[in-house]
Structure 1
């Protein structure tokens, strides 16, 4: 599930010291980028296998965050701890920016942005739509995420047995097969995905926008995991996707997958508080969709 994606071995990964701090995403060779991808795939796959095993054993809510429905499971924490430990061994000096633990600064100019389980509510209830996302970016956790440049990413859905991968400037794949988005249909024939906030007030606003859009598209879908929505654009399961209120770990990896498959991704920088709007679509649909959902950017 993704290990066979035609990527370099761990031995091909660039090792940087303080004198080689990264400031330019273009300084990497293709081989170095694919080495970074290999690490992303390896640790994301390990974590995905871990959380899938824990799901079979049974899952319970361990804590809540921004609201009573914004949950954390023990598997979220165990997955992030595993990924962090592995990255510290493979890439000492790189920063870490994950959903469930404190960030650590980078001395190399590279940071790993991690969502240990995207779609935790799906995971809790046994829905198969959840994933582990691991991305490496140029940037530091202390800086504004809108300045990040994603170099390589892996988004692994263990239940669907799919590993979505991407390398900046080289393309995107699912289980090793190259991804290319199809030509865009007119908006009225488009299947559009979205997601809803954990904030009840914002969720009502988003539902109102959903109703506005419902009569203007083929249909609407809510998967419950932003990373998989973006990957579904790349693999042509959705024509377009929009969502507000995301955090960097929700989209850092999957936005690269969508973009490298040929989709247009608007707003993927997003701020640390995740209040801006992200849109991903087959080329030509993004502007049409923006006309109807841009109000969400100001929530």
Structure 2
């Protein structure tokens, strides 16, 4: 399959699985477990939606690998791996806040620092928007081509997120203090995939957050780069809570300087 065909498959499955997530939320969710902390929850719907995605991909692309937030890895032989977050923004989802997304990406390779993104889809079931991208084909939302924004004279509209570990919050707040001098305002939506999609769409100027997992950014990062932006993880692979930055090239450079190099 070409990247465009992989994108179309991601869109199809994201739409189907997003409808399942929306329907389960309307029926009422139940908490299945906690992960790293009480705030890092997983719902029965997370597991059900990922099982649907994994089954659909296995039927369409049986030789591909799989990396999912809930069910882990599955080796493939094709060189292509699907990186999946069934419900990005689980806390929002469980709390009845309609800001969550299904994120599906196809990449070549297995190491997030070395893989080549091929295709991706980020679907917001409640809003009804489908963001998608294919390598060298551009990024779109429901057929409209996306282009990142350049911050205006009033400053950059930025988004961020905070880790689930309370011990990291002091450092996260210090980071916010470093970037606020160039910010028009700050948003904290609770879904990294959606934040990255909004950067690609020019709704946000930039995004910064530590501690993302590959399934959090795989599709969203491709949206940003295909919309003319830049996505980087500038710290070394041995850093536990790596910084993730997205936006225009100029803004990403300035965010990196302020967060990592400003005294």
Q: Do they superpose with TM above 0.5?
A: yes
Query: What is the TM-score of this pair, normalised by structure 2?
Result: 0.94
Identify the residue that residue 184 of structure 1 maps to in structure 2.
151
Per the alignment, do residues 167 and 199 of structure 1 end up closer, same or farther by CA in structure 2, a change over 3 Å counting?
same
Q: Does 1:170 align with 2:137?
A: yes
Bigger fraction of residues in strand: 2
Distance in 2 between residues matched to 1:217 and 1:223, nearest whole Å: 16
Distance in 1 between residues matched to 2:261 and 2:102, nearest whole Å: 30
Q: Which runs of 4+ in 1 moved over 2 A?
A: 182-186, 211-216, 268-275
Question: Conserved in 1, the CA contact under 8 Å of 2:209 and 2:243?
Answer: yes
Provide the aligned C-alpha RMSD in A.
Answer: 1.9
Identify the residue that residue 5 of structure 1 maps to in structure 2.
none
Distance in 2 between residues matched to 1:66 and 1:84, nearest whole Å: 24
* More divergent stretch after superposition (175-184 vs 241-250): 175-184
Identify the residue that residue 260 of structure 1 maps to in structure 2.
226
- Within the candidate set 9, 17, 38, 1:68 is matched to 38
- Within the candidate set 168, 184, 188, 1:202 is matched to 168
Distance in 1 between residues matched to 2:34 and 2:16, nearest whole Å: 25
CA shift for structure 1 position 178: 0.6
Structure 1, gaps ≥5 residues long: 1-13, 15-31
Per the alignment, do residues 173 and 270 of structure 1 end up closer, same or farther by CA in structure 2, a change over 3 Å counting?
farther
Distance in 1 between residues matched to 2:67 and 2:22, nearest whole Å: 23
Question: Conserved in 1, the CA contact under 8 Å of 2:66 and 2:81?
Answer: yes
Q: Does 1:44 align with 2:14?
A: yes
SS in 1 for 2:74: coil
Distance in 2 between residues matched to 1:272 and 1:99, nearest whole Å: 21
- Within the candidate set 29, 54, 58, 1:88 is matched to 58
Query: What is the TM-score of this pair, normalised by structure 1?
Result: 0.83
SS in 1 for 2:183: coil
